[in-house]
Amino acid sequence: MGIQITPSILNADFANLGEEVARIGSADWVHVDVMDNHFVPNLTFGPTMVEALARSTQTPLDAHLMIEDPDHNALAYVEAGCGSVTFHVEAAQAPVRLARELRSHGARASMALKPATPIEPYEDLLPELDMLLVMTVEPGFGGQKFLDLCLPKIRRARALMDKHGVETWLQVDGGVSLETIERCAEAGADVFVAGSAVYSADDPDAMVAELRAKAEAAVTA
Ligand SMILES: O=C(CO)[C@@H](O)[C@H](O)COP(=O)(O)O
Ligand SMILES: [Co+2]
């Protein structure tokens, strides 16, 4: 599939989300950070707003659920029109059942790891997943500093994917910018979430192109 750039709208203007998404026309996905003020200390939006957003764009939606009880709440985001749904393993009661349920309803199933959560206990789940998200900040807020301590986990995750021979995408999220994206790509990530880097740029779509070029150069070097 190659390199994919998925801007997060967390730092976009929430009063004009349709227009904000139209500013990133070359993005592969729109990353939608769903926060419930319980799993993380921040509150964003739920399925009704996500459904409205899905109607406003042709770009597929990549929902990142930072919520408690994804087992009972994740399907609502497939029904709202998301093409990919990520749940946190720290919150899921039955991650395999949940991943299978998401897939059976036509979405890509993805699982996220917070910075302190290791990949090794979940190695055998990789064939059940379309994407693994390695968080590179503590979830909850945009605009945080990239945590270099997560790079070895990205490398180990890529090695485990190679070992299992799976096509699982490897996404990174948090502090991804022109300064940090090469490190992530070299470590083996292929799907890059960028929030403040994209929406603080004068031309968000040009920033998407610049991020893509940097990541592609890092893997072809
Ligand atoms: O999930 C999260 C934060 O919890 C992310 O998607 C951030 O919202 C990305 O923003 P930047 O770190 O790129 O500013
Ligand atoms: Co996110």
Answer yes or no: 69 catalytic. Answer: no
Q: Where are the domains of the chain?
A: 4-220
pLDDT higher than 90, residue 221 = no
d(Cα 107, Cα 58) in Å, to the nearest integer? Answer: 16
All residues at 6 or more sequence positions from 43 whose CB lies less than 8 Å from its CB, including other chains: 35, 36, 37
pLDDT higher than 90, residue 1 = no
pLDDT higher than 80, residue 97 = yes
pLDDT tens by residue, 38-59: 999 999 999 999 999 999 999 9
Give the strand pairing for 169-173 and 84-88. unpaired
Compute φ and ψ for 28, nearest 5 degrees. -80, -35
- Is 140 assigned a ligand-binding role in the annotation? yes
The mean pLDDT of 55-72, rounded to a whole number, is 97
Compute φ and ψ for 70, nearest 5 degrees. -65, -25
Please give the model's pTM, rounded to 2 decimal places: 0.98
Q: Does residue 160 contact residue 188 with C-beta atoms inside 8 Å?
A: no
Atom of ligand 1 nearest to the CA of 176: 13
d(Cα 9, Cα 103) in Å, to the nearest integer? Answer: 25
**Ligand 1 contacts CB of residue 11 (under 6 A):** yes
What three-state secondary structure class fits 74? coil
**Ligand 1 contacts CB of residue 137 (under 6 A):** yes
pLDDT tens by residue, 182-213: 999 999 999 999 999 999 999 999 999 999 99
pLDDT higher than 80, residue 30 = yes
Q: Does residue 144 contact residue 195 with C-beta atoms inside 8 Å?
A: no
pLDDT tens by residue, 141-183: 999 999 999 999 999 999 999 999 999 999 999 999 999 999 9
Q: Quick one: what percent of the chain has pLDDT higher than 70?
A: 100
ipTM of predicted assembly, 2 dp: 0.98
- CATH fold, domain 4-220, is TIM Barrel (3.20.20)
Instruction: Report the pLDDT value the prediction gives residue 48, as an integer from 0 to 100.
Output: 97
**Ligand 1 contacts CB of residue 7 (under 6 A):** no
